[in-house]
């Protein structure tokens, strides 16, 4: 490592910073002390005969919804329960994080289905998963520091940068329910964490065939960060500024193009061969066989080499063969393949599926095509022509098929992949907890504002927006803009508005916050606009005839929105609540 730690002191006031990387496919934690914060220690997890730095995102609960196991142990215990046909009363959740990306109307009432179709509140599943990871972390810390308390730890939880504010609040609330004090929790954006980490670590530079330090990049250099995880591809562009910090040059974008999308293509392939009903049976009544099949595919997905001739073999569990055999319309897996669209492209021999390597690589095609198309869109933008380096991180970035595809498609760019790309986000999140100002400027992902009611102007306001309020004509539903989509926001950028409470019976002030995909929305019901949530400020009791004026502030430029309110005469601060997860929030987002 470079001399990063010797030149910059940790800004954390606690003894330790611990990061939790809660991933779609794998999760883990890491930590470091404030006295030697660049020395990051990670968790070790045992799965079979291998030890890894992350464990599968899998949660097993008993009939009372109490934690039985998490990770490899949860998978193994559930497989054993399923084989003994004792699994029906248990809850098993697997790879469930993507609901926060795919479910646009996420709320506290959002449900998740377990492996057998039983429902449970999604926020409870996330809470219990985080609770397990925190408990394991504290047990690990206590082995070396017997007197340590949870209050001695600053926690950082990673989320994709492409997540909206609602999903971030969902994760924060789940963490709070898991026992993390809200004042001790920071949200880190995954590509930012990776970028911070990789500035100071050696990387394999495939374009130049040598190791370089990304941290030695000159001030003014722009580079693209592609965080390819299990669920999403999270892409942004960073710029190294004069003080050594990083500036976001383009708001994060991406899509569901992580490693799981390759798994989805494989599952669709199996379903096309054996049929929907048999696939449903495999996922529910024979989940142990389903999990074995997907584990086998994961190993092949990691080991297959691009451009290499030969064959790929995949072991098929007995349960899958028996399910197909019991289907009278298909009779056997061999017959099912012969009657499928894949006849001649895959065969079943000696309990193994066999492909030519070129055919097996087709499972990657759609995912890689989407990643390349999105990178092209960014890199060919007129403002990004000077971006010469692609920093690729995340577990999926370790896949040689992906690396080769990006390298071949963007031959004029320098591709940099850290040696520990799979834990780059995790370790970088620890760094971020120590130096939260490492990212000094961010781009607004949306246009933010509030609903306003200005005096009606017939020259610019439509008649259907004209309303009478206290004897005056006003224009309803006007979008009063706070920040513009794409606007550069420094840390702590503040936008304030004065509100007046005149009615002594009022117990709270409410203000609806709106967002828009447009840079210049006119009305809050324009296309692309939606209500983000309602800001609520509790008020003190007011005597008759008294009024209170409050300055409500929204703070931008950080990983989450923050809100403040104070009496402009007394200076007294008030608690501000912004509920993005309630049922009153619009569901068209």
Tell me whether residue 567 is exposed, middle or buried, using C-beta atoms within 10 angstroms of its C-beta: 0 to 12, 13 to 18, 19 or more. middle
Q: Rounded to an integer, what distance in angstroms lies between the CA atom of residue 159 and that of residue 24?
A: 10
pLDDT tier at 7 (50, 70, 90 boundaries)? low
Tell whether 110 and 22 lie within a shared domain: yes
Tell whether 34 and 153 lie within a shared domain: yes
Tell whether 274 and 142 lie within a shared domain: no
Kindly state the helix (H) or strand (E) to which residue 299 belongs, with its residue range: helix 287-303
Tell whether 65 and 173 lie within a shared domain: yes
The 10s digit of each residue's pLDDT in 280-314 is 999 888 888 998 999 999 999 988 999 888 999 99
Residue 264 neighbours by CB under 8 Å, 6+ apart: none
The 10s digit of each residue's pLDDT in 19-40 is 999 999 999 999 999 999 989 9
Which of 345, 364, 383 is at the close of a domain? 364
Tell me whether residue 497 is exposed, middle or buried, using C-beta atoms within 10 angstroms of its C-beta: 0 to 12, 13 to 18, 19 or more. middle
Q: Rounded to an integer, what distance in angstroms lies between the CA atom of residue 108 and that of residue 125?
A: 11
Which of 329, 364, 399 is at the close of a domain? 364
Tell whether 462 and 541 lie within a shared domain: yes
CATH number, residue 131: 3.30.420.40
Determine how β-strand 222-228 pairs with β-strand 210-213.
unpaired
Quick one: CA dihedral 169, 173, 178, 179, positive or negative? positive
Which pTM value belongs to this model? 0.89
The upper half-sphere exposure of residue 28, i.e. CA atoms within 13 Å in the direction of its Cβ, equals 25
**Percent of the chain clearing pLDDT 90 (strictly above):** 69
In a domain, 482, yes or no: yes
In a domain, 266, yes or no: yes
The 10s digit of each residue's pLDDT in 256-286 is 999 999 999 999 999 999 999 999 999 888 8
Tell whether 189 and 296 lie within a shared domain: no
pLDDT tier at 454 (50, 70, 90 boundaries)? very high
Radius of gyration of the chain (CA): 26
Phi, then psi, of 451 in degrees rounded to 5: -85, 130
Specify whether the CB–CB gap between 61 and 183 falls below 8 A.
no
Q: Which residues span the domain enclosing 288?
A: 259-364
In a domain, 374, yes or no: no
Tell whether 351 and 486 lie within a shared domain: no
In a domain, 408, yes or no: no
pLDDT tier at 184 (50, 70, 90 boundaries)? very high
Determine how β-strand 246-255 pairs with β-strand 439-443.
parallel
Which of 337, 364, 391 is at the close of a domain? 364
In a domain, 346, yes or no: yes
**Percent of the chain clearing pLDDT 70 (strictly above):** 93
In a domain, 296, yes or no: yes
Q: Rounded to an integer, what distance in angstroms lies between the CA atom of residue 510 and that of residue 377?
A: 40
pLDDT at 199: 76
Mean pLDDT confidence for 433-445: 94
Tell whether 339 and 468 lie within a shared domain: no
Query: Rounded to the nearest 5 degrees, what angle is found at the Cα of 134, between the Cα atoms of 100 and 184?
Result: 80
Tell me whether residue 228 is exposed, middle or buried, using C-beta atoms within 10 angstroms of its C-beta: 0 to 12, 13 to 18, 19 or more. buried
* Domains in the chain, number: 3
Judged by average pLDDT, the poorest of 3-7, 364-368, 377-381, 434-438 is 3-7
DSSP state of 218: P
pLDDT at 204: 44
CATH number, residue 506: 2.60.34
Q: Rounded to an integer, what distance in angstroms lies between the CA atom of residue 164 and that of residue 100?
A: 9
Tell whether 331 and 186 lie within a shared domain: no
Specify whether the CB–CB gap between 363 and 357 falls below 8 A.
no
CA-to-CA separations, 523 to 52, 347, 447, 464, 499, in angstroms, rounded:
52, 59, 12, 12, 20
pLDDT tier at 116 (50, 70, 90 boundaries)? confident
């Amino acid at each position: 490592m470079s001399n990063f730690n010797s030149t910059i002191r940790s800004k954390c006031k606690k003894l330790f910073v611990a990061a939790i990387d809660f991933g779609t496919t794998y999760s883990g934690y890491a930590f470091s002390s404030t006295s030697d914060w660049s020395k990051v220690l990670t968790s070790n997890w045992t799965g079979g005969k291998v030890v890894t730095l992350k464990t599968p995102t899998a949660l097993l609960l008993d009939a009372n919804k109490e934690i039985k196991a998490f990770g490899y142990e949860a998978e193994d215990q559930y497989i054993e329960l399923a084989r003994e046909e004792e699994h029906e009363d248990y809850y098993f959740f697997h790879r469930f994080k993507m609901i926060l990306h795919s479910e646009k109307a996420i709320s506290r009432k959002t449900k998740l289905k377990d492996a057998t179709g039983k429902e449970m509140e999604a926020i409870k599943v996330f809470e219990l998963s985080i609770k397990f990871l925190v408990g394991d972390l504290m047990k690990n810390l206590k082995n070396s520091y017997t007197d340590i308390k949870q209050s001695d730890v600053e926690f950082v939880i990673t989320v994709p940068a492409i997540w909206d504010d609602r999903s971030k609040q969902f994760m924060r609330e789940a963490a709070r329910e898991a026992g993390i004090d809200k004042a001790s929790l920071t949200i880190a954006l995954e590509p930012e964490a990776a970028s911070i980490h990789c500035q100071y670590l050696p990387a394999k530079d495939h374009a130049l065939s040598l190791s370089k330090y990304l941290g030695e990049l000159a001030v003014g250099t722009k580079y693209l960060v592609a965080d390819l995880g299990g669920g999403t591809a999270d892409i942004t562009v960073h710029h190294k500024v004069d003080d050594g910090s990083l500036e976001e040059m383009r708001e994060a974008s991406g899509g569901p193009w992580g490693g799981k999308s390759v798994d989805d293509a494989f599952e669709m392939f199996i379903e096309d061969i054996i049929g929907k009903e048999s696939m449903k049976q495999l996922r529910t009544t024979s989940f142990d066989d389903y999990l074995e099949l997907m584990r086998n595919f994961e190993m092949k997905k990691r080991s297959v080499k691009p451009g290499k001739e030969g064959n790929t073999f995949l072991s098929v569990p007995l349960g899958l063969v028996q399910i197909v055999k019991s289907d009278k319309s298909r009779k056997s897996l061999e017959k099912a393949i012969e009657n499928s669209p894949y006849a001649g492209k895959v065969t079943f021999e000696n309990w193994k599926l066999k492909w030519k390597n070129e055919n097996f690589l087709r499972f990657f095609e759609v995912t890689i095509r989407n990643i390349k198309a999105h990178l092209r869109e960014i890199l060919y933008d007129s403002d990004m022509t000077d971006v010469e380096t692609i920093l690729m991180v995340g577990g999926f970035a370790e896949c040689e098929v992906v690396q080769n595809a990006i390298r071949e498609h963007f031959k004029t760019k320098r591709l940099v992949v850290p040696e520990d790309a799979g834990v780059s986000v995790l370790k970088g999140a620890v760094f971020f907890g120590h130096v939260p100002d490492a990212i000094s400027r961010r781009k607004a992902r949306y246009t933010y504002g509030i609903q306003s009611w200005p005096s009606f102007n017939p020259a610019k306001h439509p008649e259907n927006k004209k309303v009478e309020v206290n004897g005056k004509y006003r224009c309803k539903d006007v979008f009063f803009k706070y920040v513009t989509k794409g606007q550069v926001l420094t840390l702590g950028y503040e936008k304030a508005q004065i509100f007046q409470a005149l009615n002594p019976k009022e117990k709270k002030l409410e203000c609806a916050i709106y967002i828009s995909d447009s840079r210049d929305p006119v009305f809050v019901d324009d296309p692309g606009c939606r209500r983000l949530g309602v800001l609520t400020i509790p008020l003190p009791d007011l005597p008759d005839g008294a009024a209170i004026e409050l300055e409500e502030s929204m703070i931008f430029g950080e990983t989450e929105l923050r809100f403040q309110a104070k009496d402009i005469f007394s200076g007294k601060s008030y608690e501000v609540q912004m509920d993005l997860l309630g049922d009153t929030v619009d569901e068209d987002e």
